[in-house]
Each structure stands twice: as C-alpha cells, then as structure tokens.
Amino acid sequence: LSELEALMERMKRLQEDKEDEEASQEEMATRFEKEKKESLLVISGGMCAFPVPFSFDDELVSTDVSRYIEDPGFGYKDFARRGEDHLPTFRAQDYTWENHGFSLVNRLYSDIGHLLDEKFRMVYNLTYNTMATHEDVDTTMLRRALFNYVHCMYGIRYDDYDYGEVNQLLERSLKVYIKTVTCYPERTTKRMYDSYWRQFKHSEKVHVNLLLMEARMQAELLYALRAITRHLT
C-alpha cells in the first residue's frame, strides 16, 4: 500500500474499532501517558533520548535568527525531564478554552475572545473533504489527532479522547515535523516538509501547519489563563 492508502486504511479500521468497542478510561489514560512520554524523545531531525532536557542552550542559534532577538538562549524547553515516572498533566476538563479561557480573556481584553475563538474554529474545521486524490473523505479524525498531539506535547490531556489514534495516524517523520514546527520553527526545512505525506497536496500540508500553530497558541493560552485565574481567586 502507498503511504496515502495505508493512512486511509488505518482511519477506516480505527472508526470500525471505535464502533465495535470503546476503550476504557483507564486504557485511554495509559495511552496518553505513553504518548506524552514518547513526545519528549522526539526532537527535530530524528528521535533520540537525551539524559537532560534539550534546549536552545545545547545548540547554537543560527546567525540569521539570533540577530533579531535579544536572548538567543530563549526558547522552548520540554515541560518535564526525560525519564521521570510522573510527568505533570494538565487535564483539559478542569480548565477548557470554551468554558473558562474564553470568558476570562474577554474580560481582560474586550472582544478578543470572540476573535480568537473564531480563528481556532475556522482553522480546526477547515477541510476540502479530500485526502490527496481521494474526495468525499471525512478528515475529522485526522485533524483531531494533529491538534491533540500538539496539546499532548504540552502535557494537556482530554479525558474523552483515545490517544491510541495519535499513534496509529501520525507516523514518525510527521511527529518529528510537528515538534519541529511547533517548538523549534526556525529549524524547519523543506526536506522535513517533503518527508511526510508525499502524496498530499501542498494546500493540505499548509493546513497541517495552520492546525499546529493554532493548537500551540491555544495550549499556551490555557496555561497562561489558568495561572491568571488562580491568581485572581
């Protein structure tokens, strides 16, 4: 099977499995923890386990980027050390964008919540109902896996989502690309872009980038707004 046909077959099989039998809450929690720990091992350019968290301090920032920033060492760091048994988890049900973040950000900056919410929804729901040359395809499962994987990398868990879908739908090269674009965008290369979903249209792959960026922004907002809420109460 081609990469595309294999992906569509996995989507079909996952949908059939979901209709036959849903995973228990315990199984879904275990799958999330596994995916969260594995995401810490994903770095741009490959998958590797490091004894300490990887950060910009371990690598020189390219000259063309560092001249535009005051602190070249400032950047993304994994939310926990690799090898830790109990990694912190942000349960989305305890503080959601829809029920908590949206109203707070509107209080802080009038109407900005509506604009952000419209942006999140538009990018998440955007679809041509196609996958490369295939038409009339429901891509909801794939879009949800991309969005939730980014949140998983940030330690955010949705209790009603089966993270086994992430492992089934997102192959290794795509996970590497996702973490690079989301956490180390200046390291993204055309070769990495070309290495996943080779049969997909550019417009579909650009939509992946939009999804990743909106998922990251929402994750960052959730952490920030939750901290503000705790401070105010």
On the question of pLDDT at 230 being above 50, the answer is: yes
Q: Tell me: the pLDDT tens digits for 96-125?
A: 999 999 999 999 999 999 999 999 999 999
Locate the domains of the chain by residue range. 3-51+76-232
Q: What is the pLDDT of residue 64?
A: 64
Q: What is the pLDDT of residue 83?
A: 64
Residue 54 has φ and ψ, to the nearest 5°, of -80, 135
- The confidence band for 20, taking pLDDT boundaries of 50, 70 and 90, is confident
- The model's pTM: 0.86
